[in-house]
């Protein structure tokens, strides 16, 4: 892919590294001279020390043949302007970091794929790691729902129950679904069915409409603070 990355700061720099190591053709646009020089020295890609809110800069970055543009600056106004120009230049995929949630609707109107403020996401992840240590990984879906991974404890109420039995017995609510099962003696994840039995030690991917509440995680043997 041909990717234009706008910004070589705390977010842009690791993104550039991932994109270049993935074999993509990457062009970086960075307004700050020191950051631009650092990126040029660190990565095998073209770095333009210029203003991405100027249409000519994006044209020089190869916008006409770009597959995607990702803008990562710390100012929403800059990111929005770059997205508007990218839309005008018909870049197929436009992605941006959003720092102020109040601006989300504007990004949606433009037709931009967005990522919430990474600092907030990291802070929430760290808090969850302390507050809910049983959760291996999670992703929020909408305002309340979450998809999370959790390992089944030996003393969990759901151990040796089929998914159907667990649902009938009230262990799994109507808005709780087991999406995947990873088991030590299985090379590939198991796609769960009604007759799939849950074993101690299974790593489950779970969807919960109310999130990973203590009432939900109790079922898998993790009795954390309510």
Query: What CATH number does residue 211 fall under?
Result: 3.30.70.1450
Query: What CATH number does residue 23 fall under?
Result: 3.40.50.720
Tell me, what's the pLDDT at 137? 73
Residues 16 and 106 in one domain: yes
In a domain, 192, yes or no: yes
In a domain, 151, yes or no: yes
Residue 136 sits in which domain range?
Answer: 132-218
In a domain, 125, yes or no: no
Helices 12-21 and 33-42, packing angle to 10 deg: 30
Tell me, what's the pLDDT at 167? 94
Residues 70 and 175 in one domain: no
In a domain, 193, yes or no: yes
Residues 6 and 88 in one domain: yes
In a domain, 141, yes or no: yes
pLDDT in tens, 45-81: 999 999 999 999 999 999 999 999 999 999 999 999 9
**Lookup: tokens for 90:** 């018909």
Distance CA 122, CA 184 (A): 30
Tell me, what's the pLDDT at 224? 57
Residues 18 and 98 in one domain: yes
In a domain, 207, yes or no: yes
Residue spans of alpha helices (H) in 89-154: 104-110, 118-131
Low-confidence ranges of the chain (pLDDT < 70): 116-134, 142, 223-226
Number of domains in the chain: 2
pTM (2 d.p.)? 0.63
Residues 109 and 140 in one domain: no
Residues 79 and 6 in one domain: yes
**Lookup: tokens for 151:** 């390992």
Distance CA 140, CA 208 (A): 10
Are the C-beta atoms of 4 and 69 separated by less than 8 Å?
yes
């Amino acid at each position: 892919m041909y990717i234009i990355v706008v910004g070589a700061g705390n977010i842009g720099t690791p993104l550039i590294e991932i994109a270049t190591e993935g074999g993509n053709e990457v062009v970086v646009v960075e307004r700050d001279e020191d950051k631009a020089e650092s990126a040029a020295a660190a990565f095998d890609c073209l770095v333009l020390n210029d203003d991405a809110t100027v249409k000519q800069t994006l044209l020089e970055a190869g916008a006409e043949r770009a597959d995607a543009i990702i803008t990562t600056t710390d100012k929403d106004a800059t990111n929005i302007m770059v997205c508007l120009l990218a839309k005008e230049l018909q870049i197929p995929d436009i992605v941006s970091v959003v720092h102020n949630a109040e601006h989300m609707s504007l990004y949606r109107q433009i037709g931009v794929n967005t990522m919430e403020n990474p600092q907030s996401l990291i802070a929430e992840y760290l808090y969850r790691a302390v507050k809910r240590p049983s959760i291996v990984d999670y992703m929020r879906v909408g305002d309340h729902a979450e998809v999370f991974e959790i390992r089944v404890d030996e003393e969990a109420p759901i151990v040796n129950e089929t998914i159907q039995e667990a649902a009938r017995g009230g262990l799994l609510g109507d808005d709780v679904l087991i999406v995947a099962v990873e088991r030590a003696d299985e090379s590939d994840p198991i796609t769960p069915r009604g007759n799939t039995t849950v074993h101690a030690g299974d790593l489950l991917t779970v969807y919960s409409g109310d999130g990973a509440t203590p009432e939900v995680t109790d079922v898998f043997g993790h009795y954390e603070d309510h």
